[in-house]
A and B are shown apart, each in its own frame.
Chain A
Amino acid sequence: MRIICNDEKKEIRPGTTLGGFLGELGVNVDTVFIECDGVIIKKNEYDTFVLPDGAKVELIRFVGGG
């Protein structure tokens, strides 16, 4: 099945959680902001949130410094 992440099409296995998807991308879960279909996903929901087919994921990665 397919999702769209930051306007890019991605193939994922059915049942993939957001946490699993972030792991495959190599994204640090502590420093990322995520909305799925316009809804904010909280950090403690990443490992239980199953990505639905056709999901539109907005992912913003942050780096430190200020």
Chain B
Amino acid sequence: MPDRKDIAAILAERHGPEIQARIEQGVVGVMGLGGLGSSVAAALVRIGIGKLLLADYDTVELSNLNRQYYFADQIGLPKTVALRDTLLRINPYVCLETIHERLTEERIPLLFKGVDVLVECFDDPAMKPAALRAARGSLRGIGYVGASGMAGFGDNNRIVTRRIYPRVYLVGDSEAEVGPNQGLMAPRVGIAAHHQANQALRLLLGVDEDTGS
């Protein structure tokens, strides 16, 4: 097993020491640990994120395995527990805080005050605007990356990252919801998740450009 210093050294060598120093300081909240959130968390742990706050109320089900970062032997475990176990296999020294509860518009500001970036990975369409209201209200100023529209197997390049306010971004095609012959599937949900993870990284590194997309 590598020790903490080995991992830090290799990440600094690969990513650049100044960049890595900023990633190691980063605190990111992930709301919802489904197809988006589980992959966002894994990507951020792989690059050496400082700390993650992982929130979900649900347990791993067989129907999740078509797109979510869980394994058959984890069925029945709370997603917070299963994902923590997996992330610690990637980096045994990463700082993880788990929140096993159903989030609400009122609870989000209390739980995620102090994060650098908040990533909205909910499945429920009502929680998506609720989270944005929370971020634009009580959490104004933190980085925010939401998502809307990534079902099916539509065109890769219709998944975009839009800057809707300073430090506030939305990922997705804005329209592809779950329907007949349009399920949530690992490839396209993964595209959206990694847009979110990269945008969170850009915000941590102080990039906030309006690219007009």
Contact = CB atoms under 8 A, between A and B. Distances in A.
Contacts of B129: 31-33, 60, 62
Contacts of A33: 128-129, 132-133
B132 A65 contact: no
B189 interface: yes
Interface string B151-193: 1000000000000100000101011111000001000010000
B143 interface: no
B170 A30 contact: no
Contacts of A43: 130
Interface stretch (B15-23, B28-36, B200-208): B28-36
Contacts of A32: 129
A30 B128 CA distance: 10
B148 A63 contact: yes
A1 interface: no
Interface residues on B, range: 20 to 34
Given A60-B170, A65-B189, A42 B175 contact: no
B148 A35 contact: no
Given A40-B133, A40-B136, A60-B170, A66 B164 contact: no
A65 B177 contact: yes
B200 to A, nearest CB: 15
Nearest to A41: B133
Interface in B27-63: 32, 34-37
A65 B150 contact: yes
Contacts of B112: none
A64 interface: yes
Interface string A20-41: 0000000000111101000010
Contact of B176 (A30, A31, A63): A63
Contacts of B124: 64
A29 B182 CA distance: 24
Interface of A: 30-33, 35, 40, 42-43, 60-66
19 contacts: A33-B128, A40-B137, A43-B130, A60-B164, A61-B148, A62-B125, A62-B129, A62-B148, A63-B148, A63-B149, A63-B177, A64-B123, A65-B176, A65-B178, A65-B184, A66-B34, A66-B35, A66-B37, A66-B184
